[in-house]
Amino acid sequence: MQQLSRRELGRGEEGEPSLDDDLSLVAAVLTKDRKATAKFVGRFADGLYGYVRSRLTPRYDEVDDLVQEIFLAAWESLSNYQGSGPLHAWVMGIARHKIEDYYRARLKVFEPIDDSHHDQLVSAVVPEFHQALEHDEMKAKTRGVLASLPELYRLALIWRYWEQASAHEMALKTGRTEKAIERLLARARAEFRERWNHGKFA
C-alpha cells in the first residue's frame, strides 16, 4: 500500500519525532491533555486532508467527515499503539483502512455501467492511468480526467493504482467476482484513455 511521505504529513526531513517522542505524545493524549491533543491533530491534519482529498476527488464535500472519522478511530484505538513503528505510519494505516471502507461501500452498491462500446479502446495507444500518475507534467490533466469519470470508474482506478490493491483483494472486499473487477477496471481504463485522448473532461 502507498504511504504518505514525511513531507506530505506536514513535517520536514529534519527533526522527525523519535519513537520515544511518539510514545510520550500518545501517553499525554490518553490522559486527555488538551495541549497534547492539539499537537496530535496539528502534526497529522494537513497530511491526512491532502491524502483523503486526493482519494475522494472530486467529492471534496466528504473530505472533512472522513478525516474526522480517521481522527476518531485513531483516538479510540490509541491505547493500542505500542511504539513498534513511527506514529505517522500507524495513523496512516488507519487512514488507508477508512479509505478502503469508503471504496468498498460504494463499489458494492453501484450497478455495472453499460459501456461495452468502449471495449475496443483497451488497446488504444494513449497514456495508461498509472503511467500518467508518474509524470508531474501530467498530474493536473490526470486529476481532471479522473474527476470527470463516473464515480464507479474513478473509485476503482484510485483503489487499484493509488492504493495498490489487487483485483483479487478488491473482489474479496466488495463481494464481486475477480473477473467482474477486472472487467470493471478494463472499462475504467478505457474510459480514462478516451477522455484523455479526446479532452472529454471539465
Cis peptide before 150 (omega within 30 of 0): no
Instruction: Give the integer Cα–Cα distance in Å for 154 and 146.
Output: 6
Collapse the DSSP code of 101 into the 3-class scheme (helix H, G, I; strand E, B; otherwise coil) and give the result.
helix
Q: What fold is seen in the domain 113-198?
A: Butyryl-CoA Dehydrogenase, subunit A; domain 3 (1.20.140)
Quote the pLDDT of residue 13: 41
Domain 19-108 has CATH 2.40.50.100: no
CB neighbourhood size of 75 (10 A): 14
Closest CA to 8 of 62, 40, 39, 54: 54
Decide if 119 contacts 72 (C-beta within 8 A).
no
Q: Write the pLDDT tens digit of every residue in 160-194.
A: 888 888 999 999 888 888 999 999 999 998 888 88
Which residues lie below 8 Å from residue 188, measured CB to CB, with a gap of 6+?
Answer: 129, 149, 152, 153, 154, 156, 157
pLDDT of residue 116 exceeding 80: no
Instruction: Give the integer Cα–Cα distance in Å for 99 and 95.
Output: 6
Quote the pLDDT of residue 83: 87
Average per-residue pLDDT for the chain:
79
Residue ranges per structural domain of the chain: 19-108, 113-198
Percent of the chain with pLDDT over 90: 36
